[in-house]
Amino acid sequence: MPGGAARNRALPLLALTAVLAFATGCQPSDPSAASSQSSGGTSGGGGGGASDGRDVSPLENPDGTKPGLAPIVSDSEKGAARALINKVPTKARGPQTGYSRDQFGDAWTDSAAGVPLAGNHCDTRDDVLARDGQGLKYQAKSTCVVTSMSLFDPYTAKTMQWSKQKATTVQIDHMVPLSYSWQMGSSAWTKDQRIQLANDTLNLLAVDGPANESKGDSGPSEWLPPNAGIRCAYVTRFAQVTLKYKLAVTDSDKAAMLKQCGG
């Protein structure tokens, strides 16, 4: 999906971006499916909740401004995650009638109100790449447009060497998919509220493109990251987003979320 035009900015510590694709509305996939492979070049880690050492647990990153998604492994952390998940309300999934990406505003707008990093003269996509990527190289005379970088993908536990020529091998995942949110209540929101959800760093993660595409608009009972070690962290972040935006999940999704954290 095309993003907004990247813009230069003055903030020296937040620099990034590239053309990314975002897919919604795909058919749900089996959460037990094995792995997805990036065509952008990978190295390192298998499963087991590997991390690049920069990733931060969602329990320590409630606004989503810190990089990545670190595993939740200790019994006490899993207990805290279950307590959070138990606060999420449930209801039946509604129809997709009327949904379109346009209902959530222009892709990656910098003007969304009430979200971290908005108004800094870089698109939301740029901010997510700067947060999650390493070794960023930029287009000449730009502090936003990324031409290459290294990314540790928590969904596959692989380190990807990405370049702009292979743009779709890294994508920005809406952890609570926009279509899912529409079916669970955002259809009744104002457009400004939907724009906020679509551009909130809490709901965004730079990941392996094929893994993101396999997710589509699935909830946690239908899709989970191939890297089993990250799944408790994934559903915890899913819970954080739904609680912030007062969204419900289905009964089956809540049961799957609790299961991933030992519940």
pLDDT digits (tens, 9 = 90+) for 138-194: 888 888 877 889 999 999 999 999 888 888 899 999 999 999 999 999 999 999 999
Does residue 162 form part of some domain?
A: yes
Domain count, the chain: 1
Q: pLDDT for 43-85, tens place per residue?
A: 333 344 566 788 999 999 999 999 999 999 999 999 999 999 9
Does residue 114 form part of some domain?
A: yes
Residue 146 · residue 17 · CB < 8 Å:
yes
Mean pLDDT of 23-41: 38
Does residue 28 form part of some domain?
A: no
Residue 49, pLDDT score: 53
Residue 50, pLDDT score: 66
23 or 244, greater pLDDT: 244
Does residue 211 form part of some domain?
A: yes
**Sheet of 42-43, strands arranged across:** 42-43, 158-163, 146-153, 134-138
91 or 127, greater pLDDT: 91
Whether the pLDDT of residue 1 is over 60: the answer is: no
Residues spanned by the domain of 248 = 42-260
Does residue 16 form part of some domain?
A: no
Does residue 14 form part of some domain?
A: no
Mean pLDDT of 25-31: 39
β-pairing, 204-208 vs 146-153, is unpaired
